[in-house]
Amino acid sequence: MTGSLSPRVAGLLAVAGAGAVAALASGRPELAVLAAPLLLFAGVGLALAQRPRVSASIELDRDRLLEGERARATVTLANHGASRAEVELLLAGSALLALEPPGPVLVGVAPGATTTLELTALARRWGAHSVGPALVRVRDPLGIRAWSGQLGGRLALRAFPREQRLRELVAPLATQPFLGSHVARVRGEGIEFADVRPFAPGDRARQVNWRATARRGALYVTERHPEHASDVVLLLDTFAEARGGAGGTLDAAVRAAAALARAHLARRDRVALVDFGGTLHWLEPAFGTAQLYRIVDALLASEIAFSYAWRAVESIPRRVLPPTGLILAITPLLDERSLRLLADLRRRGADVTVIEVSPFAHTPPGRTESDAVAHRLWRLQREAIRARLQSLGIGVAVWEEDAMLGPALEGVNRFRRSARRSLRV
């Protein structure tokens, strides 16, 4: 720890020195008598001050939580010195963690004793946060000297994004031959009724539709749609974001991506993640809970990385983009590069849907009339972008951050049903 003198020492010495000099100059001994206690106090304080021997350890009651939840941090201070230590402690933490109490805490620790402090850390946003170390300042009993430094380590605290429950998801155009929850377009073994047709050699007896057979006088069998899984690629646009005081479009995009990943994995889909922006990260498609944790962990590291680089589809590994997979692009539609990528993917025959995270909550129109006109023009420009994407067969779900994601996805499904013919891969 670094030792320092309290600024009061200089003040005490200045006042005492002035009194002593004035006493000598004026021949008034009372001034020297007044100066003596101040001088003696500073001298005794400096003589008695001893380097403190204090240690601290920090523990968290959990290392992962949902954003908006609190974790309890326990700081244990131990005084190994021979005199009482007055410890001023400030727990360091990530900027997106709200520590309670927000300022320093002052505690006294008796010699040879330990003191425990309970503090709380509120995760204001998802992310990989850190708690600690403890910044401490220990003062001697007379407050003349202080020692400051860092004690304890830095603990990781992962805050997972809040998730919405999604009842309806974007229905994929094509499915994979794995057991899943989507009704496939092909016919085979399943539950959903597809059609009846005349019996053919090889059909099983339990497939016979006895009502149709009785009505038509010949053997008819029921055909069904099987339930298959699909491949879903979550494409997170991290080229640019709109950010206001309360948050940004990336915050909402990560929440949406986490909710979509959970919902699709629950329906036994294979889910991949592509973080497409200034830097490129990806996770290959996989099933199950482990993949959900992998995706959420990858999402926590998402950030806007400023870059002038133009990235094309070729920069994404082929194995991450299954040819018949559903690509869900979560984007604020703010960067031309992401628009080009989406159009390029669609032209290559990919099944693309855009979930547009609306930036309007973070971009108020401004106060002057010209600002309002510019804002209206910008809105019109965005509508033109949406129309351009829809003309390519890309469904666009406009999602306001405060609203539920489900209704926006329903709107996309309506668009996809109406435009199915043009969407066929």
**What minimum distance in Å lies between the beta carbon of 80 and other proteins?**
6
Binding of residue 153 to other proteins (CB under 8 A): yes
146, 209, 210, 312 from 195: Cα distances, Å: 85, 10, 14, 43
Q: Which of 252, 258, 394 is nearest to 326 (CA)?
A: 394
Binding of residue 8 to other proteins (CB under 8 A): yes
User: Of the listed pieces 73-81, 168-176, 240-248, 356-364, which binds other proteins according to CB under 8 A?
Assistant: 73-81
Q: Is 294 exposed, middle or buried (0-12, 13-18, 19+ CB in 10 A)?
A: middle
What is the identity of the amino acid at 222? T
Binding of residue 6 to other proteins (CB under 8 A): yes
Nearer CB in complex with other proteins: 33/380: 33
What is the identity of the amino acid at 128? A
Q: Nearest 5°: phi and psi at 160?
A: -85, 150
Residues in contact with other proteins, shown as a per-residue x/- string from 120 to 139 under the rule CB under 8 A: ----------x-xx-x-x-x
The per-residue b/e assignment along 33-68, b for 16 or more CB within 10 angstroms, e otherwise, is ebbeebbebbeebeeebeebebebebebeeebbebe
Residues in contact with other proteins, shown as a per-residue x/- string from 25 to 54 under the rule CB under 8 A: --xxxxxxxxxxxxxxxxxx-xx--xxxxx
Binding of residue 2 to other proteins (CB under 8 A): yes
Cα 66 from Cα 160, distance rounded (Å): 5
Binding of residue 20 to other proteins (CB under 8 A): yes
Binding of residue 148 to other proteins (CB under 8 A): yes
Sign of CA dihedral 248, 251, 255, 256: positive
Which three-class secondary structure state does DSSP give residue 118?
A: strand
The one among 70, 80, 267, 386 contacting other proteins by CB under 8 A: 80
**What minimum distance in Å lies between the beta carbon of 300 and other proteins?**
16
The one among 62, 72, 98, 106 contacting other proteins by CB under 8 A: 106
Binding of residue 86 to other proteins (CB under 8 A): yes
The residues in 375-394 that bind other proteins, with binding defined as CB under 8 A, are: none
**What minimum distance in Å lies between the beta carbon of 46 and other proteins?**
4
Binding of residue 107 to other proteins (CB under 8 A): yes
Cα 21 from Cα 37, distance rounded (Å): 15
29, 138, 266, 396 from 410: Cα distances, Å: 92, 60, 19, 11
**What minimum distance in Å lies between the beta carbon of 48 and other proteins?**
10
Nearer CB in complex with other proteins: 92/173: 92
Binding of residue 83 to other proteins (CB under 8 A): no
The residues in 241-300 that bind other proteins, with binding defined as CB under 8 A, are: none
The one among 83, 96, 141, 190 contacting other proteins by CB under 8 A: 141
Cα 406 from Cα 263, distance rounded (Å): 11
Residue recorded with tokens 């300042």: 137
Cα 393 from Cα 51, distance rounded (Å): 73
Binding of residue 150 to other proteins (CB under 8 A): yes
Binding of residue 111 to other proteins (CB under 8 A): no
Nearer CB in complex with other proteins: 23/333: 23
Tokens of 203: 């059909």
Nearer CB in complex with other proteins: 155/333: 155
Binding of residue 171 to other proteins (CB under 8 A): no
